[in-house]
């Protein structure tokens, strides 16, 4: 096996990567009662991993670097978190999520290396089309289809399609569509953006609407001069029409953001609602944010570097509609959540991982993808949200391709 390469070799078994992508995309809808798509992905990755090690019996240089990097960071996190008293069963569960999603990231990168781009396009675009149709049908009929599928084993919101939650499903669509952009299927990205934005407004996925709109605008700013002119002309015509048609939804987006800001600024009003037990969506999110800000306000220097321990946020409150005391409520702001769990070292770790695989620091793709990465704020937690780590792999693959193009041009 080649131990030192600049150009990755695709796997001789592309089918396993196609199956892997399908398991990841359909999320919790593919389930056997409590055995969800997430668990099935674990089983699939374990089997594939064992077969790989039996066949290869060695690691290449990139894999060796990743293993060493993981060992170094874990050797930093574990002692620091042990000193802070954060070690518990929940801590190790979140450590497992961290390692498993890292495997998702790596397998996603290998899938991008192995699968033909047209195959990748067909898989992603077909899922987007089917998901959009399912959401529209659910909204029109006011039915969540997977509530009638007993093997799914959980309640699905109307307009959530395969991902049980409307915001989560909309975030999946945003990430997948932006993936098409980074895979150079720009036309499909532009065509998909409008229905995804409209759908986000219909199902009240406000942050996903802003993320999709922001990514569309940024993509055009980075395009050619002619493309920018055409886009500007189209927006002059289309934007007022969309604003008129969806004026109620757009007004609610602004109202919601103002309400959240008022709660964060007026903690007494927020505490009054919390103590009443009649929490509603905006208040719950504002309360979760305020609790995390309180944790961060007490950070020491070491906490900023290494956090306070994986899974070590207990946001609790009473909600009469949800049956009383709620503990370990999902933080609803992933980037702040990971800062609390592992400090800035979490982001340093992933930047190193992406740099090892891409061959250079992935700052370009990260900056371009900032609007899409913002969609993650809409979901409860991305600790085990597999499409995010697929998107990380897409950004890494884009950097890798750009570096390869540069090498060929120099040659």
pTM: 0.86
For residue range 64-106, list pLDDT tens digits in order: 899 999 999 999 999 989 887 788 889 999 999 999 899 889 9
Which ranges in 115-224 belong to alpha helices (H)? Answer: 117-141, 166-182, 186-202, 206-221
Mean pLDDT of the region 164-189 = 95
Q: Are 138 and 145 in contact (CB under 8 A)?
A: yes
Mean pLDDT of the region 101-116 = 92
Mean pLDDT of the region 341-345 = 94
Mean pLDDT of the region 176-198 = 94
Lowest mean pLDDT among 34-38, 42-46, 58-62, 329-333: 34-38
Please give the Cα distance from 275 to 57 (Å, whole number): 59
More confident position, 168 or 278: 168
| Strongest mean pLDDT among 70-74, 315-319, 331-335 | 70-74
More confident position, 218 or 346: 346
pLDDT of residue 179: 97
Query: For 280, which DSSP code?
Result: -
**Using 50, 70 and 90 to split pLDDT, how confident is the model at 222?**
confident
pLDDT of residue 3: 37
More confident position, 330 or 121: 121
Q: Are 341 and 94 in contact (CB under 8 A)?
A: yes
Q: Which residues pair with 325 in a beta bridge?
A: 318
For residue range 2-22, list pLDDT tens digits in order: 334 467 888 777 888 888 888
Residues counted in the chain: 411
Q: What is the largest CA-CA distance in the chain?
A: 69
């Amino acid at each position: 096996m080649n131990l030192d390469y600049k150009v990755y070799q695709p796997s001789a078994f592309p089918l396993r990567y196609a199956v892997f992508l399908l398991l990841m995309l359909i999320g919790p809808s593919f389930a056997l009662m409590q055995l969800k798509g997430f668990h099935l992905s674990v089983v699939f990755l374990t089997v594939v991993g064992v077969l790989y090690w039996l066949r290869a019996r060695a690691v290449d240089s990139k894999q060796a670097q990743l293993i060493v990097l993981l060992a170094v960071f874990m050797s930093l996190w574990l002692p620091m978190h042990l000193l802070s008293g954060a070690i518990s069963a929940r801590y190790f569960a979140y450590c497992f999520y961290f390692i498993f999603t890292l495997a998702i990231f790596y397998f996603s990168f290998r899938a991008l290396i192995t699968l033909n781009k047209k195959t990748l396009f067909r898989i992603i675009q077909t899922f987007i089309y089917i998901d959009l149709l399912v959401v529209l049908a659910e909204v029109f009929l006011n039915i969540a289809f997977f509530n009638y599928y007993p093997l799914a084993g959980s309640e699905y919101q109307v307009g959530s399609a395969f991902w049980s939650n409307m915001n989560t499903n909309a975030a999946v669509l945003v990430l997948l569509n932006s993936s098409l952009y980074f895979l150079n299927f720009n036309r499909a990205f532009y065509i998909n953006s409008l229905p995804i934005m409209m759908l986000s407004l219909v199902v009240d996925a406000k942050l996903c609407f802003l993320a999709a709109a922001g990514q569309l605008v940024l993509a055009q700013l980075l395009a050619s001069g002619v493309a920018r002119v055409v886009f500007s002309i189209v927006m002059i015509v289309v934007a007022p029409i969309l604003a008129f048609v969806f004026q109620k939804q757009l007004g609610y987006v602004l109202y919601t953001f103002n309400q959240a800001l008022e709660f964060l600024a007026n903690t007494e009003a927020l505490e009054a609602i919390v103590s009443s037990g009649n929490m509603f969506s905006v208040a719950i999110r504002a309360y979760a944010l305020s609790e995390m800000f309180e944790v961060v306000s007490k950070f020491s220097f070491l906490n900023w570097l290494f956090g306070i321990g994986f899974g070590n946020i207990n946001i609790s409150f009473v909600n009469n509609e949800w049956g009383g005391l709620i503990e370990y409520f999902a933080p609803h702001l992933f980037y702040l959540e990971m800062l609390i769990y592992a400090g800035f070292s979490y982001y340093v770790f992933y930047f190193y991982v992406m740099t090892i695989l891409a061959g250079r620091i992935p700052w370009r793709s990260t900056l371009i993808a900032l609007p899409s990465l913002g969609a993650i704020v809409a979901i409860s937690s991305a600790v085990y949200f597999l499409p995010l780590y697929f998107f990380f792999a897409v950004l890494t693959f884009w950097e890798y391709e750009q570096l390869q193009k540069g090498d060929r041009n120099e040659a």
